[in-house]
Amino acid sequence: MNDAVHQMMERYVCKTQDDAVNALREILQQIALLGLWRGKFFEHAAFYGGTALRVLYGLDRYSEDLDFSLLEPSSTFSLDAYGSALRREIGSFGFEVSFEVRHKTAATTIESAFLKANTLRQLIVIQAVRPTVQLNQTLKINLEVDTEPPPGFTTESRAVLLPTPFAVRVYRLPDLFAGKMHALLCRKWKTRVKGRDWYDLVWYAGHHPQLHLSHLEARMCASGDWSGDAHITRDDLQARLLAAIGALDIDQARAEASRFVRDPSALDLWSPGFFKEVVDKIQIV
């Protein structure tokens, strides 16, 4: 095993096969960020979303995707330009992945691509093989880039020390919180509930409760969830959150989130009253 990969593996306690696969995914995510940095990607884009919180700010849940936003809108941007750099970087640490751009089937501002790897082969690399892994099981990491980002956000550079020191451009936390709030209030999941959004809300309220309201407004305007001349206020946000809490299937949210947290008992407190207390801790900036 590569020395840097060994150091990264030491951060995990893999009691189950799912633990090993989650560790593998996070290691590949972090090496992918290194490859993007070497490819000058962060001169044009910033990191955001759950994995950004996990890697850079210590969010205590697993996350599947790598989400980014261009710094300036571009209709010609393509992730294709970074495929070789990603494969080369990940390969230099002993892993074997393929890179596949997702071709759009509908008009969207999101550019997507997949990193794919044979799970068993990569678990052998990190010496975490158990007989329950199927030979043909595939691990996927989705990369998504918003090519027409809503305005009004700011970014900063954050250091990552493993597998080797590098820097990642990332949304500042109040703007990350605004993005998460937009996802929680406006993302359309039909009958599905994304409990991870509610878990992240609790994390933000407890660790970094400042929310950039004007950036949330810009996101809601871009998605068609806010219109008119009036600016969104704290009371508007409070009313929408209370409505979302009232409509939330908490059992379904808890079940979805439990697959991504190490200690599912942290979800036992979830209730309408609990979430209303959490919402009261949000600080508008």
| 66 and 101, same domain (yes or no) | yes
Cβ pair 71, 268 in contact under 8 A:
no
Residues 195 and 164 placed together within one structural domain of the fold? no
What pLDDT band is residue 148 in, cutting at 50, 70 and 90?
Answer: very high
Q: What percent of the chain has a predicted confidence (pLDDT) above 70?
A: 95
- Interior angle at CA 146, CA 86 and CA 285, nearest 5: 120
Are 70 and 165 in the same domain?
Answer: yes
Q: What is the per-residue pLDDT for 149? A: 95
Give the residue among 254, 255, 235, 253 at the shortest CA–CA distance from 243: 235
The string of pLDDT tens digits covering residues 35-75 is 999 999 999 999 999 999 999 999 999 999 999 999 999 99
Same domain, 177 and 59: no
Tokens of 21: 């696969």
Range of the domain at 103: 1-171
Last residue of a domain, one of 136, 156, 171: 171
Residues 64 and 272: their CA atoms lie apart, in Å, by: 27
Q: Between these two residues, 220 and 17, which has the higher pLDDT value?
A: 220
Supply φ then ψ for residue 100, to 5 degrees: -140, 120
pLDDT at 134: 58
Instruction: Tell me, yes or no, whether 81 and 7 share the same domain.
Output: yes
Give residue 20's pLDDT: 87
Asked if 268 and 127 sit in the same domain, the reply is: no
CB 90 within 8 A of CB 32: yes
pTM over 0.85: yes
End-of-domain residue from the set 120, 144, 171? 171
- Answer yes or no: is pLDDT of 129 > 70: no
Q: How far is CA 74 from the centre of its chain?
A: 22
Q: With the C-alpha atoms ordered 50, 52, 57, 63, is the resulting torsion angle positive or negative?
A: positive
Residues 107 and 179 both lie in one domain: no
Q: Give the per-residue pLDDT at 104.
A: 72
What pLDDT shows up at residue 229?
A: 81
Residues near 88 by beta carbon (within 8 Å), at least 6 away in sequence: 35
Whether 134 and 237 map to the same domain: the answer is no
Single residue among 171, 192, 218 that ends a domain in this structure:
171
Q: CB-based burial of residue 19 (10 Å sphere; 0-12 exposed, 13-18 middle, 19+ buried)?
A: middle
Q: Which H or E run includes 145?
A: strand 138-146
**What are the DSSP calls for 178-229, one per residue?**
HHHHHHHHH---TT---HHHHHHHHHHHHH--EE-HHHHHHHHHHTTS--SS
160 and 179 part of one domain: no
Let me know whether 108 and 248 are in one domain.
no
- Let me know: does 206 contact 60? Beta carbons within 8 Å: no
Within this chain, do residues 144 and 191 fall inside the same structural domain, yes or no? no
Q: How far apart are CA 89 and CA 81, in angstroms?
A: 14
Q: Which pLDDT band holds residue 123 (cuts at 50, 70, 90)?
A: confident
Nearest CA to 150 out of 236, 225, 42 is that of 225
Looking at the 3D structure of the chain, how many domains does it have?
A: 2
Asked whether the beta carbons of 215 and 275 are under 8 A apart, the reply is no
Residues in the chain: 285
Identify whether residues 140 and 242 lie together within a single domain: no
Mean pLDDT of 169-186: 97
What is the arithmetic mean of pLDDT over 8-20? 87
- Residue 163's Cβ-count burial label (10 Å; 0-12, 13-18, 19+) is buried
- Residue 18: pLDDT band with limits 50, 70, 90: confident
